Structures are given as structure tokens and as C-alpha cells.
Amino acid sequence: MHVPFVDLKKQYLAHRQEIDQALVNVFEKSIFASDETISDFEKHFTEYLDAPYCIACGNCTDALEIILRALEIQRGDEVIVPANGWLSAAEAVVLVGGTPVFADNHPDFYTIDPNQIITKITSKTKAIIPIHLYGLPADTDAIRDIAHQHNIKIIEDCAQSHGATYKGKKTGTLGDAAAFIFYPTKNLGAYGDAGAIVTHNKQLAEKCGMLANHGQRIRNQHQLLGRNSRMDTLQAAVLNVKLRYLDQWNAQRGKHAAQYMELLKDTPIELPHAPAHMLHAFHLFVVRVKNRGQVIDYLEKKGILTAIHYPVALPDMPVFSHLQTKPEDYPVARSQASELLSLPIYPELTAAAIQYVAATLKACCR
């Protein structure tokens, strides 16, 4: 059996008529930017999240950078980011001139560890960017306590957590501002690049909106030095269709995860943990194995494609070598980088495929 890591075509074929119609509508109207299709998406997304403000933009790194700029984080400021994760958060901090400070990840949940955040707070700390990694919300109450105590901002990286909840509230509404991405393979994916900024702060929302649009609120009245970071109409049209199915797709992901867990329990394979007060969006189904290299090769020979998120802890990346971090400061992220393995998961995955992946994995795991 062949099991791809993701399969976007299955989803397209299942919703082809609606998606094709939405795209044809854009072609017929022929307004490809700044159209109401985009403001409709912003409105639908705020309703979905139960958050007051959403600003559509180009991608997640832009969203993070714009939020940091709007919060006036700059040279000399420190922002705490997880040591294991995608680099956008740390990258955006460097792009505004700030210094990313890595905090180690939690050994069981893989998200940023609040106890490690505490050890990294200094008088220069201005913000924390938790990533709701793999679809599991970060330990929000603990992070909020720290943030309140030290008067620092929380910026959520929701690139992997569309629809995930913490104590019943959607990720994206848990901090001061949030960055979303709708890259095609994410839980809510466009057919190209697209992102969004979400916040409950009106002034911050206005400033982010201006920064994403050349610093103007009214055309040709540039008040701030901004940039161009726009979502195009075609992406918004696709997202307006797909948002309606997000919860249904996430429920499918949850069902698949439960099936994997049932089939893989009582094995040496470490499975994802999700506390009862969190709803995991299972953007990725990440297991931990000791002999990862062998496992990947074996699965591939059997037609199963896997991926690694992420093979190198962020502080070990050449791009961050100037930060001179100490390897002993993030042992968890480093061990995760060598042992975590992402198995195929997507809504359209079949029960038979999951059974095949689990059986094959069991045959080669230590």
C-alpha cells in the first residue's frame, strides 16, 4: 500500500464544485486584490474564532513581523521563543532587530515549557511567542501568569493550530495577538500563500492593518513605514469555502489520531499527549522513536512517507549561531530533534491506511 504524507488532491476532488465555482466567481469579477471576498474571509474567520479583529495578510512570518513592529519591539528587546519548532517566530524577531531567546520545550507536550520561560526572563524581555506546536495549544495559563507578572506580551503562532482549543477557547484568542498561516498543507490551507493577524485590541489591529498596507489607512496617505503583505482574492475565495469544513476535517484528524493511539499503545513508541482541557488539532501526528533513521527507511520501503518536524533544534541553526546559545540550555529540544517522527495524517486518510502504517511501524520500532 502507498500512503503519502499528505494528499491535497483528495480534498480538492471532494469539494471540487464549490471550489471551482468560488474561483470562477473571482475570474468573472476580475478583482484580484482588496476585494470584499477578502473582507468576507476576515469576518468569517473572526466569527469562527470568536475574536473581534482579523487582518488578512501574505503569510505567517509577515504576520509575526507586523505584530512585533506594531508592538514596537526593536533593537535591544528580547522575545522568548521555543527551541523546537518552525523558525518563523525567531526569524521575525531578528527581522525587527530584536533578539530571540530560546526556551526549551516540554518533554511530554513538545510545546514551550513555562518553567523554562521563567529562567529566560530578563529586564529586556518584551514578549513570548508560544507555538501551538503540531496542533496542541501551549500551556496558556502558565504562560499568561508569567506574562502578567513581568508585563510582557503574548503573541501566538497558530500556524499549526487552526481550530485547536484551550479550555474551550480557540487558539488565536489566547494572547495579545496571533499569527495564522494558510499554507496549502495546514489544517486550513489556501492554494498558495496566505496569512492573517488576529487580535482583540482595536488599536493594535488598526496599526497591523496599516503596516500590512504600506502604512496607509486611506489610499495615498502613508503615515507609517509599512510594507505590502496582502492576501489575494483567489486565496480568500478558496478559504471562504474551506473554512466551512475546518471543524469537520479536524474531527477527522482527531479520529485518525485516536485510531493510531489505540493501535500503537503498549509499544515502545511514545505517543502524543494532550491534556483534557485542550483540543488537539492534530496538524501533525508526532511519535517518538529511538531508531528513527531505520524506521524512516523501513516505512519508505513499505510505501509509507513520513517527515521530521524538526531535524535541528532552532538554537543549533547556523542562522542563529550569533546568539551563542549554550547547548546544555535546551536538552529536550535537542533530543526531540533526533527522535520525533511525523506519521501521515490528513482528514481523508483511511482507516485501512492507518492500520497499515501502525502495523508496519510496530514491526520496526525499538
Ligand X SMILES: *Cc1c(COP(=O)(O)O)cnc(C)c1O
Looking at the chain, which runs of residues are DSSP E strands? Answer: 53-57, 78-82, 99-103, 125-128, 153-157, 165-166, 169-170, 177-181, 195-199, 278-279, 285-288, 340-343
**Total site size for ligand X, rule CB under 6 A:** 12
Answer yes or no whether residue 181 interacts with ligand X by CB under 6 A.
yes
CB closer to ligand X out of 161 and 165 = 161
Which positions from 116 through 175 interact with ligand X, judged by CB under 6 A?
131, 157, 159-160
341 interacts with ligand X by CB under 6 A: no
Q: For residues 95 and 323, which CB has a smaller minimum distance to ligand X in the complex? A: 95
Smallest distance, Å, CB 187 to ligand X? 11
Location of C-alpha cell 504600506:
214
Point out which residues pair with 78 in neighbouring strands: 99, 125
Cα distance between residue 154 and residue 174, in whole Å:
8
Q: Between residues 88 and 306, which has the closer beta carbon with respect to ligand X?
A: 88
Select from 86, 282, 285, 310 the one that contacts ligand X (CB under 6 A).
Answer: 86
CA dihedral over 203, 206, 210, 216, signed as positive or negative? negative
- If the CB atoms of residues 37 and 161 are measured against ligand X, the closer one turns out to be 161
Task: Name the one range near ligand X by CB under 6 A: 14-22, 85-93, 213-221, 251-259.
Answer: 85-93
Q: Which burial class, exposed, middle or buried, applies to 72 when counting CB atoms under 10 A from its CB (0-12, 13-18, 19+)?
A: exposed
- With respect to ligand X, which residue has the nearer C-beta, 11 or 88? 88
Least distance to ligand X, CB of residue 172, Å: 13
Q: How far is Cα 50 from Cα 44, in angstroms, rounded to an integer? A: 10
Strand partners for 126: none
Give me the least distance between CB of 307 and ligand X, in Å please: 12
Residue whose C-alpha is closest to residue 289's, from 304, 268, 315: 268
244: left (phi over 0), alpha (psi -120 to 50) or beta: alpha
| Distance of closest approach, residue 196 Cβ to ligand X, in angstroms | 11
Q: Work out which of 4, 8, 183, 192 binds ligand X, going by CB under 6 A.
A: 183
- Site for ligand X, rule CB under 6 A: 59-61, 85-86, 88, 131, 157, 159-160, 181, 183
